[in-house]
Structure 1
Amino acid sequence: MENIKTTMSDPVHLTLPSPDPEPVRGCAGCVELANVRDRARAGGDFTTVSDCNVFLRRHPQGHS
Structure 2
Amino acid sequence: MTEPTRYQTAPVELPLRLDLREPTPVDGCPGCVELVKVRERARAGGDMTTVTDCNVYMRRHPEGHG
Distance 1:28 1:43 in 2: 23
Which whole-Å deviations, capped at 9, do the CAs of 1:6-42 have from their partners, x for residues lacking one?
89x5473533241110011110110110011011011
Match of 1:35 among 15, 34, 37: 37
Please give the secondary structure, in 2, of the residue aligned with 1:21. coil
Distance 2:32 2:23 in 1: 10
Distance 2:42 2:19 in 1: 17
Match of 1:25 among 24, 27, 42: 27
User: Corresponding residue for 2:3?
Assistant: 2
Distance 1:28 1:13 in 2: 35
Please give the secondary structure, in 2, of the residue aligned with 1:41. helix
The count of corresponding residues between Structure 1 and Structure 2 is 61
RMSD of the TM alignment (CA)? 2.5
User: Corresponding residue for 2:52?
Assistant: 50
Distance 2:19 2:44 in 1: 18
TM-score, with normalisation over the residues of structure 1? Answer: 0.71
